[in-house]
Amino acid sequence: MAEEQQIIKAPTVPLASNALTTLSDMMEFIGMDPDDASIPRVVRNNLIRLINSASEYIETMTSRKFAITLYNEGHYGSGAQELCLGQYPIREVVTVEDTENEYAVPADSYSVDDTGNIGVIYRDKGWPVRGYASGLANDLKASRKYLKVTYRAGFVLPKDATEEVPSDLPYDLQYIVWQMVQQQWNLANNGANGLSAFTISDVSWTFDKELSTQVKDIINKYQRWA
């Protein structure tokens, strides 16, 4: 009978692929026992919805994707030794292709050992600027994307972690999800939901109180400025 109750109480709303915490951790943070079968399924479902919404909001505000993902990006030559990619931390550079000359840039000519945590590929020879010549002097008029970078970047999220591969998501990111969800959960349960709203792109988040300075500071810390 207990086993049947546990199945009935199981949440039916899935964690999103970019969820920055787990349901169990979230429940413990707000003082619920994840193993308590008496907690209604609707409670678990609504907590998952809030987790998904908060995680999406954080990614939108930081212009980041935090789960490990494979990317294929086209880039201009930077004219410097650093080539800044769209996502970080870089876990692996699969290939860097010179699409203009149709060859792979040798992997031993660049490195992410010291700069991958900020999303930069370093190369002693640099990444030359190439562009379109114009005018009598053949001056460089516009840069040309000739680099195609295939790479993996991101963190092992808590929901994807195993004993062999534990999560390496910075703890403060998970903490602000807990803070945001707890705030909305408490307000909803107190009947004070829906006093104001913020919408950006396809992501909406309702605030009945301002986000704490701590939450804002952590979001700013992980924001992608480049």
| Tens of pLDDT, residues 120-166 | 999 999 999 987 777 666 666 667 899 999 999 999 999 999 999 99
As a three-state string, the secondary structure of 1-42 is CHHHHHHHHCCCCCCCCCCCCCHHHHHHHCCCCCCCCCCCHH
User: Are residues 140 and 123 both part of a single domain?
Assistant: yes
Residue 133 lies in a domain: yes
Residue 226 lies in a domain: no
Give the span between the Cα atoms of 93 and 112, in whole angstroms: 8
- In the chain, where do the E strands start and end? 69-76, 82-84, 90-98, 103-104, 120-122, 131-134, 139-143, 145-153, 197-200, 203-206
pTM, rounded to two decimals: 0.82
Residue 199 lies in a domain: yes
Lowest mean pLDDT across 90-94, 101-105, 143-147: 143-147
| Tens of pLDDT, residues 163-212 | 999 999 999 999 999 999 999 898 877 754 544 454 545 555 555 556 78
Q: Single out the residue in 153, 188, 206 at which a domain terminates.
A: 153
Residue 212 lies in a domain: yes
| Tens of pLDDT, residues 1-25 | 445 445 556 788 999 999 999 999 9
User: Are residues 163 and 127 both part of a single domain?
Assistant: no
Residue 116 lies in a domain: yes
User: Are residues 75 and 147 both part of a single domain?
Assistant: yes
**CA-wise closest residue to 226 among 83, 129, 52, 112:** 83
Letter string b/e over residues 18-28, b meaning 16 or more CB atoms within 10 A of that residue's CB: bbbbbbeebbe
- The parent domain of residue 56 ranges over 2-64+158-221
Q: Single out the residue in 104, 129, 153 at which a domain terminates.
A: 153
User: Are residues 36 and 58 both part of a single domain?
Assistant: yes
**Tokens 């990111």, residue located:** 173
What is the distance in angstroms between the CA of the first residue and the CA of the last residue of the chain? 56
Residue 85 lies in a domain: yes
Angle at 83 between CA 56 and CA 75, to 5 degrees: 75
Tokens standing for 93? 């550079």
Residue 144 lies in a domain: yes
User: Are residues 60 and 76 both part of a single domain?
Assistant: no
Coil, strand or helix at 48: helix
Residue 82 lies in a domain: yes
| Four-CA torsion 152, 156, 160, 163, nearest 10 degrees | 120
Looking at the 3D structure of the chain, how many domains does it have? 2
pLDDT at 204 (0 to 100): 56
User: Are residues 44 and 88 both part of a single domain?
Assistant: no
User: Are residues 88 and 139 both part of a single domain?
Assistant: yes
Q: Single out the residue in 114, 133, 153 at which a domain terminates.
A: 153
